[in-house]
Structure 1
Amino acid sequence: MTQELYDAIWDEVEQGEAKSDVFSHFKLPDFMPHESSDSISTYVNYTEQHKKLLAKFIEFLKKTNADAKKVLVVGPSGSGKTSFFYYFEKSYHSLVRRGKIDGKIYDTVHAGFSTSAKVLTIKEALRDLPRIEKRFIKGDDKSLVFLDDMQEVFCPVNVSEDEKKAREEFWNKVESYKKSFIVMTSTPYNWSEVRKTDPRIISKFDEIIFLNGLQDYDLEKIVNERVYSYISSFDIFPQAIRQQIIIDSRSNPRLMLRLIKKTLEIAFKNKESKINETHYAAAKEEEGLKFIEEYTKLYPAKKSLIDELTSLDSISATDISEKTNLTRTTISQYLNDLEKDGFVTKKSRGKKVYYKLNFALKSHLEKNMISAEIENMRLRTTA
């Protein structure tokens, strides 16, 4: 690996990530002039771990033997697992096409479950497999394969046996491709769960790379920087609301930039000179609705859970399990995800825990359900 190749790709990755509205811990913040050099020590450390990841990717690309190379990248939500591969692949090929570096154009497949990445779902990838295989086996060039979320491949939750076999088949085929560079991602929790299911899973990978996430201190620093870069004044955006964004983005950092921008858009649209709680609540509701839409579209099985939460004031995991075909374990996992993102609250009553949708979100979904029912009645009447 030459230093010129490394520097060229890193610069390109930085520029691509900087233009993105999707926040990850990898996104490099422009620190305000008054911040001291000591305050960016953590930031430098996080930059370095991604530079090491880039060096590892280039190292694998430069290997000449015919065996497939498999790398697992383990890191918390928002640590840049998906975005880094996306910008690495995009930047590398852009530089090759523009003649900035010597290299080849590789066949690339992105497959997974991430709503933030430009990827195929596993079902789409399976459907496309014959075409993909023809591309991969027709020549001697390497191929790049990105698989987002190992749990969904090795031990998916709430899918049929046929679907499990299909995903196993998908992995076996991809793994057999000669000269392919396979990158798979996982959160620490999913990595732990997969290892419980198959302790030998570690042997499937040539290397496992662990990424760290940011602490609250770093999140606060980046939120402040982003607010400052948009409006150049903290007076418009009170500390209390900035602090709430930090709390809300702990478990889902990808929401951070969207929440800041949406809050500002709503305030400016209303011609308000200062951000208030109403603006932020409206922004969170709107982004929450987008999340629910993506959530149920990506995982259709979860729609029944959302419907039950919408139709009742509050409901327990046991009650949902009795009304749907979801298991208690699956429901608890889904509800915990929604709670972390601030869309449901929970309260204990005796031995049971009851869950309740965010009021604004529930009101909006109820209106949608009523509108849909009215439309169905109209169609039945006119049929």
Structure 2
Amino acid sequence: MGSQLTGRTILVVDDNPENLIVLGELLLAQHKVRTANSGERALHLARQAPLPDLVLLDVMMPGMSGYEVLEGLRADPLTRDIPVIFVTAMSGVEDEQHGLELGAVDYVTKPLHPAIVLARVNTHLELKSARDHLQHQNARLEVEIARRMHENQVVQDVTIHALARLAEMRDEETGNHIVRTQDYVEQLAKLARAHPRFAAALNERTVVLISKSAPLHDIGKVGIPDHILHKPGKLNADEWGEMQTHAKRGADAIRKAISDTTEAAEFLDYAIDIAQSHHERWDGSGYPDHLAGEAIPLAARLMAIADVFDALISRRVYKAPFTPDEAYRLMAEQRGRHFDPDLLDIFLGAFGEFCAIASRYPDTPAPPGSSPPH
């Protein structure tokens, strides 16, 4: 027997003292042996640390039989995986079958033959050692997979926010706009799950994916010329038309990114919907595709409410920030016009929660001497 199997703990259970002595002397040369002369005592010792690596169990005992002991071992999560070999004078096929059906790994009949007993013990100790090693390796693998998935998630999130920050810096708008709007979208989506219109589409995973996609809503502004992005006054018709192209530019950029990789990223499908359609309006008067009603992707309808709310309460070069009460009134007037009426009702019904999010992430004041944002 290999050295890796020496020093294992074996529990021997038999109501006959002579059998306990015989088995104990046979096994003690290479293993640690515990003995129990009753089923109740066996169950007690089986739960003591270190747990037995193997149980040799007599079947016919007064009080609790070996079958009942095995059932007790299998019922306890602490002992259910300990292999059990029945040691009994019962030699009928039905008896052996019954023991194996209950979960015993082997069956040794009396009178005992030392060589056979040792061979059976060693075989099952080797099997248990292999199972333990495999379980340990699987546990390590699961930990490593979880670690790498977490790292990939962090890299993905950092990349998303870096791209969103790039667009935001070019636009020279508010410092925490992407953080606030992401939280608005997530909270609104969670609340909308309780509404029958949205319950099927907004499961827990969908909410996470839409929230993850939200920071990319204005990524297309990277492609808008500086003289338009940074213009201090009102845009003329041509400039406004060019500004509107940022929605499709952003969606196209994400589509191109998807085509450049062999790995699918489900959240990017939502990112496309949000980038392209978050300026669409419920009544069809938005851009770039003049979609209306349910034709506007749900993720974009969520983003539209978040984006407009944040724009209203934030300072822009062309306006001072509106108060929350003013923003509430202006958005309520757009029910069924700019916004999905049911989503807006949900938003306004929990308006205080969104104001609290805005308070958590205030804009960073511009440094002295800097030009005003557009």
Fold in common (TM above 0.5): no
* Larger Rg belongs to: 2
Q: Which has the higher contact order (CA 8 A, sep 6+)?
A: 1
Bin of the TM-score, shorter chain as denominator length = under 0.3
Normalising by the residue count of structure 1, what TM-score does the alignment of the two structures yield?
0.27
Normalising by the residue count of structure 2, what TM-score does the alignment of the two structures yield?
0.28
Which structure is higher in strand share? 1
